[in-house]
Amino acid sequence: MVKTRLCEILGIKHPIFQAGMGPFSNNKLCIATANAGVLGLLSTSGLNSRESQKVIFDHFCTTGGADPEVDDDETILRKIFRQTYNGVKDKNGVFGVNVMVSMEMKDLANKIINTAIACRNEEPDLQNNFKVVFTSAGDPMGWGDKIKGAGFKWIHVVPSVKGAERCRKAGVDIIVASGHEGGFHTSWEPVHSMVLLPAVVEAMAPYNVPVVGAGGFCDGKSLVAALALGAVGVQMGTRFLATEESDFAQTWKEGIINAGDRDTLVARGFVGPARWIKTPRSQLHQENTLKLAPGLFLGKPDDPTSDSAKELMAFEREGMRAVYHGDKEKALIAGGECAQRVNSLLKVQDLVDGIVTEATDIIARMPKTYL
Ligand SMILES: Cc1cc2nc3c(=O)[nH]c(=O)nc-3n(C[C@H](O)[C@H](O)[C@H](O)COP(=O)(O)O)c2cc1C
């Protein structure tokens, strides 16, 4: 067993988060991970794709037990929260909801958080399992009173020490430091986990704010490394995406598992730079990004309303649709650098057991090996 302060704060067995991965569905995955003793996170930004990406929206709703044709946003959310609660309550699984709080998502973010609060108030039993609001992709300032006031634990993800300072001032309970290795959205000014994680840990140490590492973590070795760097746990996205219970399309899972040495690249995503599995299609997307939005490789944010950004986003949308239709030629597959270390499709429980066993063995062997 590997226990840290994170386990006590959230009531989870293992110091591991299954990352929220929007706008895609994590509805089934979240139940499986929560039941395996880690924090399961639901993604919610799929609600935004009702008009723009119907295939993603429909999948998001149906995996959550909702009807994409008739249910409004609140009803969809209520059904997903309830389905998750019903799926985890017998095993005391703990779950939360990932909410993107960027400016353009603010109205939706308020709707999601209000619905989460209402659900827990209407049925207080939910509070035993539905414990976390995990905000991302925006400024944490101003959200604390609502989230913490309702009794949720509040987690926010950042790519920098500056972002972590902002979290501390905003009153965030747990900070996730997300390195450039990570899958899909990455930051404009990249720093990898090996540097970012200890830097954030050191900056937060005087305030006793717990820090979790994200980006590149996929097994027991990398969990132990994060603990050595001062983290209280890790968040894994790419690794949990490629599991049997994951809601992601088979083409996507295979893309992660088949990725080899140096098999990811960065090109434009929905909200800036994004990491993709290297394929002829993503290489073309990268070349187009270099022509149309070179600032992406120079740390200079582009104008998302410009014609060139819109052209790149349209190409990306086509790539996302293709994944769901199993069109391997046009598919764009988001994934982290650690895809090269993810080589098998496992059941979530077996994966978590394997990670914990490996980490426990390494920690037990360390004094004999090094001292
Ligand atoms: C397909 C995919 C979608 C993601 N979508 C989101 C998202 O909507 N919100 C978010 O905060 N992070 C998102 N992430 C980042 C993850 O939450 C996590 O921080 C990251 O995957 C960790 O790095 P790893 O992929 O190396 O494990 C996404 C990651 C992937 C792979």
Burial category of 364 from C-beta neighbours within 10 Å (exposed 0-12, middle 13-18, buried 19 and up): exposed
Ligand 1 neighbourhood includes 36 CB (under 6 angstroms): no
The mean pLDDT of the chain is 96
Residue that has been written with the tokens 């429980």 in this structure: 349
Q: What is the pLDDT of residue 148?
A: 98
Q: Is 340 touching ligand 1 by the criterion CB < 6 Å?
A: no
- Residue whose CB lies within 8 A of the most ligand 1 atoms, among 39, 175, 184, for a mutation test: 184
Q: Is the CB of 96 under 6 A from ligand 1?
A: no
Q: Where are the domains of the chain?
A: 5-249+346-370, 260-334
**Is the pLDDT at 52 greater than 90, yes or no?**
no
Q: Token pair 């639901």 is at which residue?
A: 42
For position 271, what pLDDT does the model report? 82
Domain 5-249+346-370 has CATH 3.40.50.300: no
- Identify the residue whose tokens are 């609600």: 47
Q: Mind listing the pLDDT tens digit for each residue in 78-127?
A: 999 999 999 999 999 999 999 999 888 899 999 999 999 999 999 999 99
Residues forming beta bridges with residue 149, ordered by sequence position = none
The Cα 24–Cα 72 span in angstroms is 18
What is the band of 213 on the pLDDT scale with cuts at 50, 70, 90? Answer: very high
Please report, to the nearest 10 degrees, the dihedral formed by the alpha carbons of residues 219, 225, 231, 234 taken in order: -10
Q: What percent of the chain has pLDDT above 70?
A: 100
- Residues 154 and 209: beta-carbon distance below 8 Å: no
Mean pLDDT value of segment 209-214: 98
b vs e for 106-143, b when ≥16 Cβ sit within 10 Å of the residue's Cβ?
Answer: eebbebbbebbbebbeeeeebeebbbbbbbbbbebeeb
Reported as a single tens digit per residue, the pLDDT across 233-288 is 999 999 999 999 999 999 999 999 999 999 999 999 988 899 999 999 999 999 99
Q: Which residues does 346 contact at the CB level (< 8 Å), separation at least 6?
A: 243, 244, 354
Q: Determine the pLDDT at residue 299.
A: 86
Residue 215 Cβ < 6 Å to ligand 1: yes
Helix and strand element counts for the chain (H, E): 14, 11
